[in-house]
């Protein structure tokens, strides 16, 4: 057994292949860098608001001027040997804070510095400036404070009980991606358009003043990024003048030239395209701390024309292209997520900031989009194996099997990327939401498994909803047993399953209603107080509409709630139906008592709940029908709401957890599927950890009974043992399995190819496994850095495979 383990470790290590020494160095520097808080942005933004902000300007203009100030004053780090410049922060993994959105208290800084999982180094200088300047100025003024001031007591009660989380309490809305248009447009083009639009404005238009201010702000934001690029160009020229190495000097001069060209003008070459995008990325992630940072989306599509032109003209070799892509890759890895504390940390307990690069799918004209770059990007993914960026393989029926297999090969050496998406059903989802066919074909995925019309849509996530907890509240007639507080509706003890179901749906409706009302308020607050004029430049049609991204300027606007714990709540309902109402083994009262006692003294009952009731994930209609019914009901409730007041966003549902299933489990008592109090609930739409005993085909069958086309996406995790993907024949079979799963309507699947044996080893010798990455839920993370609860949970996820 030991030799097999070492063989596996060896195989994993040997697949990392930086294409050159400098990439090797940059990669190592990136991996070894420790995440730390940089106080520069906090200092600059506070300085601006305190001393430079003019009185009586509109919020959009104020924010644009603040952004410009940052771009004028921020430091300009340059990683040794890098080919692409710009970083949000003062150096690799030196993460800024955003006190205007969420001001950390000194205790928060202590937590960040000392917690075991996801710590950030906090040096004395940071503490000192926070204490002296940042906290006194921003306390009570940050968006977070304003949000909580405006939430109702019902909302706060539910939030504190762990019924839901709220994304926007520590980070600005984002949840979007760049589209092809970004790569075809220069800032000067946008400025020209802004000027035209401003001329066209008429004072008789009721929105005249808002539009005027937004356009003004957008124009300032344009200037801001041009300043940033120009500053880098100057710096590069300086460095070149002092550079002894001839080759590097030429390189620096070329980079300086590129920085004069982009992002002012649209890029013409491959290198320019990467730098152009990167400036935009840095700008967006400096302006605010949007969720999921930003992403270039369908990169194999957007870069292809630059790539083929440069290769054909001889300007670049394939090897140089790879080097540039690998350098680009490292830029993402150097920007970990912003520091989160408390519940926001729990719901997304990772350094991963979810920038996602898509490959595959179809072109706008409906033909197979897979090209050389799709394969090249998959190679870069395998060879770099960094935490970020994430990837997504969009698999359409029209995409060749070679592409699918190449994606699976990238998976093989125990690395959880790329996840696989059913592209053809993404189109169905988008069309159902009212997108045009062309926009649907240009869609992709970002974040975990969120689908959107990349480059044209604001698909904002508002928080996770704890389904098992809502069932717990139902069984306790509206009281949270953890606190004894009434937070839900008063319902009777159910006499039969229909009554239980109806009471559960009633509570669900109630909580969704409170959440929706809260969402509307938060949307209005961000629209008013925190517009994002720079990000708005890059999402169509904000400039055309002269409307900010946060006010609904994008072509499509959607608002999502993410539902968590489908497996757990389905199994719990199935268990009640089977054991209490059908077989009458226990009464409702007995079960409630047992749950309140966390099954102490009720082990026999718990085992029956664990082993003798039908479970979701085993292709058993008894349980699966409940899941199907629940998904339908959730969609019905959520989509029953009219569009949001400010953005006019349609309301939709997602089923994904990131890491919140651990947090939600910690606040939920024992459940009647046999789960003990405090244990994680099920993640995504995966069956409860360990109960899928009929194999992966059965899981797929179960999952496909629900109608995912009515949702925006659903996350499914499956673990495979290495032997299933080591052999090329088996790999082909796995490919066929996935094609069938997609034919049946599955949205997404991500495979974790490790053995639990390996994971236990990693727990014992974490220093030997620092590069071991596993998929958590929609993203990968370093296993040894995960909180113990999440580590155990991943181990428990069923190992598929055979003896």
Positions touching another protein (CB under 8 A) are 603-605, 607-608, 610-612, 619, 694-698, 701, 724, 730, 733, 736-737, 739-740, 743-744, 800, 802-803
CB of 702 vs another protein, minimal distance in Å = 10
DSSP state of 140: T
> Of the two residues 201 and 731, which places its CB atom closer to another protein in the complex?
731
DSSP state of 599: T
> Of the two residues 695 and 766, which places its CB atom closer to another protein in the complex?
695
Q: Which of 74, 222, 448, 672 is catalytic?
A: 448
Residue 197, Cβ neighbours under 10 Å: how many? 18
Q: Which of 166, 347, 417, 450 is catalytic?
A: 450
CB of 692 vs another protein, minimal distance in Å = 11
Query: Measured between alpha carbons, how far is 535 from 151 in angstroms, rounded to an integer?
Result: 27
End-to-end alpha carbon distance in the chain: 14
SS3 category, 336: coil
Query: Measured between alpha carbons, how far is 795 from 803 in angstroms, rounded to an integer?
Result: 18
Distances (CA, A) of 513 to 154, 478, 640: 11, 15, 11
User: How would DSSP label each residue in 107-123?
Assistant: HHHHHHHH-SSS--B--
CB of 583 vs another protein, minimal distance in Å = 12
CB of 718 vs another protein, minimal distance in Å = 11
Report the residue count for the chain.
Answer: 803
Query: Measured between alpha carbons, how far is 259 from 1 in angstroms, rounded to an integer?
Result: 54
CB of 751 vs another protein, minimal distance in Å = 13
CB of 249 vs another protein, minimal distance in Å = 57
CB of 695 vs another protein, minimal distance in Å = 4
Backbone angles phi, psi at 476, to 5 degrees: -100, 25
> Of the two residues 396 and 507, which places its CB atom closer to another protein in the complex?
396
Q: Which residue in the block uniquely carries the two structure tokens 């297999």?
A: 405
Compute the 3-state secondary structure of the chain and give helix, strand, coil in percent, each to the nearest 5: 55, 10, 35
CB of 609 vs another protein, minimal distance in Å = 9
Query: Measured between alpha carbons, how far is 446 from 11 in angstroms, rounded to an integer?
Result: 30
Task: Extract the runs of DSSP E, i.e. beta strands, from 476-614.
Answer: 479-480, 485-486, 556-564
CB of 696 vs another protein, minimal distance in Å = 5
> Of the two residues 257 and 705, which places its CB atom closer to another protein in the complex?
705
> Of the two residues 145 and 757, which places its CB atom closer to another protein in the complex?
757
> Of the two residues 325 and 691, which places its CB atom closer to another protein in the complex?
691
SS3 category, 280: helix
Alpha-carbon radius of gyration of the chain: 26
Query: Measured between alpha carbons, how far is 143 from 159 in angstroms, rounded to an integer?
Result: 17
Q: 3-state SS string over 117-143?
A: CCCCECCHHHHHHHHHHHHHHHCCCCH
Quick check: is 578 catalytic? no
> Of the two residues 706 and 786, which places its CB atom closer to another protein in the complex?
706
> Of the two residues 485 and 743, which places its CB atom closer to another protein in the complex?
743
* Nearest CA among 295, 212, 232, 308 for reference residue 269: 308
Distances (CA, A) of 614 to 11, 590, 696, 702: 40, 20, 17, 12
Name, in order, each residue with C-beta under 8 angstroms of 433's C-beta and a sequence gap of 6 or more: 556, 558, 650, 652, 712
Query: Measured between alpha carbons, how far is 474 from 494 in angstroms, rounded to an integer?
Result: 10
> Of the two residues 559 and 671, which places its CB atom closer to another protein in the complex?
671
CB of 400 vs another protein, minimal distance in Å = 15
* Nearest CA among 255, 233, 358, 349 for reference residue 304: 358
Quick check: is 222 catalytic? no
Going by DSSP bridges, is the β-strand pair 444-446/36-37 parallel, antiparallel, or unpaired?
unpaired
> Of the two residues 383 and 692, which places its CB atom closer to another protein in the complex?
692
The most distant pair of C-alpha atoms in the chain lies apart, rounded to whole Å, by: 85
> Of the two residues 724 and 786, which places its CB atom closer to another protein in the complex?
724
CB of 701 vs another protein, minimal distance in Å = 6
SS3 category, 784: helix
Task: Extract the runs of DSSP E, i.e. beta strands, from 62-188.
Answer: 94-95
CA 633 to chain centre: 25
Q: Which residues are catalytic?
A: 448, 450
């Amino acid at each position: 057994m030991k030799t097999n383990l070492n063989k596996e470790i060896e195989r994993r290590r040997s697949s990392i292949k930086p294409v050159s020494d400098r990439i090797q160095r940059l990669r190592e520097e990136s991996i070894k860098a420790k995440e730390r808080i940089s106080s520069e942005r906090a200092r600059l933004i506070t300085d601006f608001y305190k001393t430079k902000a003019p009185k009586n300007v509109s919020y959009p203009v104020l924010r644009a001027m603040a952004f410009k100030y940052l771009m004028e004053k921020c430091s300009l780090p340059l990683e040794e040997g890098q080919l692409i410049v710009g970083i949000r922060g003062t150096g690799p993994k030196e993460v800024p804070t955003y006190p205007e959105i969420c001001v950390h208290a000194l205790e928060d800084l202590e937590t960040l510095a000392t917690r075991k999982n996801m710590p950030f180094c906090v040096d004395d200088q940071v503490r000192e400036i926070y204490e002296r300047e940042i906290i006194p100025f921003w306390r009570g003024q940050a968006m977070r404070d304003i949000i909580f001031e405006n939430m109702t007591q019902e909302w706060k009660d539910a939030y504190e009980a762990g019924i839901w989380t709220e994304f926007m309490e520590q980070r600005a809305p984002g949840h979007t991606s760049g589209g092809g248009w970004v790569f075809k447009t220069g800032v000067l083009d946008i400025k020209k358009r802004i000027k035209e639009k401003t001329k066209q404005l008429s004072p008789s238009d009721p929105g005249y003043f808002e539009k005027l201010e937004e356009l003004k702000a957008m124009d300032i934001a344009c200037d801001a990024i041009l300043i940033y690029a120009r500053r880098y160009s100057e710096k590069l020229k300086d460095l070149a003048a002092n550079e002894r190495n001839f080759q590097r000097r030429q390189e620096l001069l070329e980079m300086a030239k590129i920085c004069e060209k982009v992002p002012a003008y649209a890029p013409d070459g491959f290198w320019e395209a990467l730098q152009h995008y990167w400036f935009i990325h840095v700008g967006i992630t400096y302006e605010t701390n949007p969720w999921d940072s930003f992403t270039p989306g369908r990169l194999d599509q957007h870069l292809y024309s630059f790539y083929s032109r440069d290769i054909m003209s001889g300007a670049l070799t394939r090897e140089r292209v790879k080097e540039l892509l690998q350098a680009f890759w490292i830029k993402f890895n150097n920007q970990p997520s912003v520091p989160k504390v408390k519940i926001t940390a729990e719901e997304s307990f990772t350094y991963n900031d979810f920038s996602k690069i898509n490959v595959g799918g179809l072109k706008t004209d409906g033909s197979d989009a897979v090209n050389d770059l799709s394969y090249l990007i998959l190679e870069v993914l395998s060879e770099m194996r960094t935490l970020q960026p994430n990837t997504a393989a969009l698999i359409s029926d029209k995409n060749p099997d070679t592409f699918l297999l190449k994606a699976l090969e990238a998976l093989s050496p125990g690395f959880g990327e790329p996840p696989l998406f059913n592209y053809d059903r993404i189109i169905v989802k988008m069309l159902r939401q009212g997108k045009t066919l062309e926009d649907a074909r240009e869609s992709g995925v970002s974040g975990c498994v969120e689908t959107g019309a990349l480059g044209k849509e604001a698909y904002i996530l508002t928080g996770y909803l704890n389904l098992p907890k809502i069932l717990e509240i139902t069984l306790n007639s509206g009281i949270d047993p953890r606190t004894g507080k009434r937070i839900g509706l008063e319902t009777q003890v159910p006499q039969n399953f229909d009554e239980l179901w109806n009471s559960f749906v009633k509570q669900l409706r109630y909580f969704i209603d409170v959440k929706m009302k809260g969402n509307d308020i938060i949307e209005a607050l961000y629209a008013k107080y925190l517009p994002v004029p720079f990000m708005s430049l890059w999402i169509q049609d904000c400039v055309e509409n002269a409307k900010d991204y946060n006010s609904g300027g994008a072509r499509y606007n959607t608002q999502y709630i993410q539902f968590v714990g489908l497996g757990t709540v389905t199994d719990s309902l199935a268990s009640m139906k089977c054991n209490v109402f059908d077989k009458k083994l226990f009464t409702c009262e007995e079960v409630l008592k047992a749950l309140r006692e966390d099954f102490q003294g009720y082990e026999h009952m718990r085992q029956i709940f664990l082993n003798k009731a039908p479970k979701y994930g085993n292709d058993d209609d008894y349980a699966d029908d409940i899941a199907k019914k629940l998904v339908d009901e959730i969609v019905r409730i959520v989509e029953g709401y009219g569009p949001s007041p400010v953005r006019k966003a349609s309301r939709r549902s997602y089923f994904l957890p990131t890491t919140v299933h651990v947090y939600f489990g910690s606040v939920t008592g024992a459940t009647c599927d046999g789960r003990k109090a405090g244990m994680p609930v099920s993640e995504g739409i995966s069956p409860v950890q360990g109960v899928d005993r009929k194999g992966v085909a059965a899981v797929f069958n179960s999952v496909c009974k629900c109608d995912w086309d009515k949702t925006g996406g659903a996350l499914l995790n499956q673990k495979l043992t290495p032997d299933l993907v080591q052999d090329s024949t088996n790999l082909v079979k796995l490919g066929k399995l996935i094609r069938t799963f997609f034919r049946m309507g599955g949205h997404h699947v991500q495979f974790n190819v490790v053995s639990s044996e390996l994971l236990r080893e990693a727990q014992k010798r974490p220093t030997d496994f620092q590069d071991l990455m596993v998929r958590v839920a929609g993203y990968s993370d370093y296993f040894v850095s995960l909180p113990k609860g999440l580590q155990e949970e991943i181990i428990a996820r069923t190992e598929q495979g055979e003896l």
